[in-house]
Amino acid sequence: MVTLVPVMTRTLTYRRTRGLGGWLLLTAFLGLFGAAGCATPGTYYERHEIPRLTVVFLDEQSLQDKWTLVTSKSPIMSSGVVVGLFDFRTQTIYCPKMDFEVCGHELHHAVLGRFHPED
């Protein structure tokens, strides 16, 4: 049985450009709105519970090794290199620590399932 695993990739030419400016912006944002939550206009409210969710933070090489172990595929794909994954079988998110973009993406897979074409 083949288990499809949603994956987030980045193009191979992508280089992380977050620097001090990003942290300053985040700090300013938290200073303005507080760290307890973010208010948005409207009445949107959607609640999800994910029983037995596991999150594993790991480095890039370990993540790619995990990808290969779970899928038996290369971590280098036509859409880019694997940077995070959610394993439906074990209900586990694998992503880099403090990488809110990748971890948030995989969290959405945990909540919503498969939501993009390569799934």
Of the ranges 2-10, 26-34, 64-72, 95-103, which one interacts with Zn ion (CB under 5 A)? 2-10
Instruction: Give me the least distance between CB of 108 and Zn ion, in Å please.
Output: 8
CA distance 22 to 107: 22
The candidate with the shortest Cα–Cα distance to 89, out of 60, 109, 64, 59, is 109
Query: For residue 54, what are its two tokens?
Result: 């596991």
Task: Tell the residue number behind the tokens 């596991």, with chain if given.
Answer: 54
Instruction: Give me the least distance between CB of 43 and Zn ion, in Å please.
Output: 28
String marking each residue 3-22 x if it binds Zn ion according to CB under 5 A: ---x-x--------------
